[in-house]
């Protein structure tokens, strides 16, 4: 069984140092097999913010898979925004904006959904879908995970949220290649659910899990938090660990078990205020 720590929306430039220190301590205590960061490492894509994010990531557990978010593209520097939107990200964080991680049990593909021509929204390109198809086709029986910044599904009982563009076109690929799990952020809300609540054309149940903001003061009615996942081919356990009482500790837990229809929620070992889409 693998353990994945899923962070999102660090927003360096608005970080809370006490929360950042507590998160670092908790991540080292959890010792994840893989650390995933689903975008928005900075608040305004400034050099100093990227440098702070880089230095922080270097002190967290390895290996890591990181994708950019819309805040990692300059907003007010118009020339850089349109001519070199991710140059600073690539210089400080990583050259690959669509990174891939593979080991004996996991295949994880990151997709950059941040776009210079939009402010908040993002999308998947047809070229990204083609590369994803090529990458997923021969990975065998590994657990297949896709990481984006922008989410595939909205929070429960919430309407009008802009989801990642071209998501509907990706659904046949998710079905054909047996994708298991989608990880994202962007909304600073933690929740998880079946993509079929939003895309009824999907033939299989795929889990979409979003993480809240890990260390930023830009919380939206929720504590700073991250997702800790324990997963294998039979089950995926998503545990939300939140900053409370000066440290990160367990807040809620949801368990999904594998079936002939994909991944189904289970009441076994679920506890706390689990926010599952479609409940």
Asked whether the predicted pLDDT for residue 275 surpasses 60, the reply is: no
Mean pLDDT across 114-138: 88
**CB of 119 within 8 A of CB of 82?**
no
Residue 80: predicted pLDDT: 59
Kindly state the percentage of the chain with pLDDT values over 90. Answer: 81
Residue 247 has what DSSP assignment?
Answer: E
Task: Indicate the helix (H) or strand (E) that contains 263.
Answer: strand 262-271
Residue 87's alpha-carbon distances to 66, 93, 152, 203, in angstroms, are: 15, 10, 26, 39
Mean pLDDT across 166-189: 95
Cis ω before 63 (30° cut-off from 0): yes
Q: What is the mean pLDDT of the chain?
A: 91
**CB of 259 within 8 A of CB of 267?**
no
Closest CA to 227 of 218, 213, 238, 215: 238
Residue 122: predicted pLDDT: 93
Neighbour order of strands in the sheet with 207-210:
100-102, 106-110, 143-147, 181-184, 207-210, 191-194, 276-277
Angle (deg, nearest 10), helices 126-136 and 167-177: 10
Asked whether the predicted pLDDT for residue 276 surpasses 50, the reply is: no
Residue 64 phi, psi dihedral angles, 5° rounding? -135, 150
Residue 79 CB contacts under 8 Å (≥ 6 apart), including other chains = none
Mean pLDDT across 126-138: 93
Helix count (H) and strand count (E) of the chain?
6, 14
Give dist(CA 273, CA 279) in Å, integer: 12
Residue 159 CB contacts under 8 Å (≥ 6 apart), including other chains = none
Give dist(CA 193, CA 209) in Å, integer: 7
Mean pLDDT across 111-119: 82
For residue range 20-69, what is the model confidence (pLDDT) as tens digits? 999 999 999 999 999 999 999 999 999 999 999 999 999 999 999 999 99
Asked whether the predicted pLDDT for residue 117 surpasses 80, the reply is: no
Give dist(CA 76, CA 67) in Å, integer: 21
Note the pTM of the prediction, 2 decimals.
0.93
Alpha-helical regions (H) of the chain: 17-30, 47-58, 78-83, 87-92, 126-136, 167-177
Q: Is 72 helix (H, G, I), strand (E, B) or coil?
A: helix
Task: Give the strand pairing for 106-110 and 181-184.
Answer: unpaired
């Amino acid at each position: 069984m693998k353990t994945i720590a899923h962070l999102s929306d660090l927003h360096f430039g608005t970080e809370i140092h006490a929360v950042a220190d507590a998160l670092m301590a908790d991540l080292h205590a959890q010792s994840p097999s893989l650390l995933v960061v689903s975008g928005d490492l900075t608040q305004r894509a400034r050099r100093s913010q990227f440098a702070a994010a880089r230095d922080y990531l270097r002190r967290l557990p390895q290996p890591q898979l990181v994708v950019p978010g819309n805040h990692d593209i300059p907003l007010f520097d118009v020339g850089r925004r349109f001519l070199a939107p991710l140059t600073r990200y690539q210089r400080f964080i990583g050259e690959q904006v669509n990174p891939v991680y593979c080991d004996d049990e996991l295949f994880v593909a990151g997709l950059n959904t941040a776009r210079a021509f939009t402010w908040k929204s993002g999308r998947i390109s047809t070229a990204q879908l083609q590369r994803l198809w090529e990458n997923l086709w021969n990975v065998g029986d590994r657990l297949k995970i896709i990481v984006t910044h922008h989410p595939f599904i909205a929070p429960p009982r919430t309407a009008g949220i802009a989801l990642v563009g071209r998501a509907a076109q990706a659904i046949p690929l998710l079905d054909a290649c047996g994708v298991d799990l989608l990880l994202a952020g962007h909304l600073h809300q933690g929740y998880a659910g079946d993509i079929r609540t939003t895309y009824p054309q999907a033939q299989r149940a795929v889990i979409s899990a979003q993480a809240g903001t890990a260390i930023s003061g830009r919380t939206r009615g929720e504590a700073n938090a991250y997702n800790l996942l324990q997963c294998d081919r039979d089950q995926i356990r998503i545990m939300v660990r939140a900053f409370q009482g000066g440290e990160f500790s367990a807040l809620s837990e949801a368990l999904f078990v594998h079936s002939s229809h994909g991944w189904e929620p289970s009441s076994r070992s679920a506890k706390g205020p689990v926010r599952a889409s479609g409940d």
